A = this chain, B = another copy of it.
Amino acid sequence: MAKRKMTSTNSINREKLNDLCGMEYAIDLLGGRWKLLILYKLENRALRFIELKKILPGITDRMLTLQLRELEKDGLLHRTVYPEVPPRVEYRLTDSAEKLIPVWKALERWGDAHREVQLPG
């Protein structure tokens, strides 16, 4: 997710779609295994690295770091470092990320409902 070969068709297609519509741009920022879940966990309060790690089942240090970095870069998280030892770093949603709350709630409701419908298959 970090380093991309900007000349690949894959990359070019991604960019084309990003330019094309805000939906694909959003998917690009929010896609992947952990990102929406991280935002979701931060919905009510700021959390520090280790707290996120505890409540995200199975995530590794490396993946958590990567995802937090990208979310920060993309303007979805604020990162606050407290100069203590051992270190304390807190993450919280940006205003823009908070505007997404109703969207992921709707997605969650749809997912739950759709799963019911799909159970036979």
Residues in chain A within 8 A of chain B (CB atoms): 9, 12-14, 16-17, 20-27, 29, 31-33, 36-37, 40, 57-59, 73-75, 96, 99-100, 102-104, 106-115, 117-118, 121
**Residue contact B23 to A37, C-beta cutoff 8 Å:** yes
Binding site secondary structure of chain A? helix
With A14-B33, A17-B33 as known contacts, state yes or no: A22 contacts B107, CB within 8 Å: yes
This chain: copies in complex = 2
For this complex, 20 residue pairs linking A to B, each with C-beta atoms less than 8 Å apart, are A9-B58, A16-B57, A16-B58, A21-B40, A21-B108, A22-B107, A22-B108, A22-B113, A22-B114, A23-B37, A23-B107, A25-B112, A26-B114, A27-B31, A74-B118, A75-B114, A96-B113, A100-B110, A103-B110, A106-B106
**CB < 8 Å neighbour of A103 from B31, B36, B74, B107:** B107
Chain B nearest CB from A23 CB (Å) reads 4
How far, in angstroms, from A115 to B29 measured CA to CA in the complex? 10
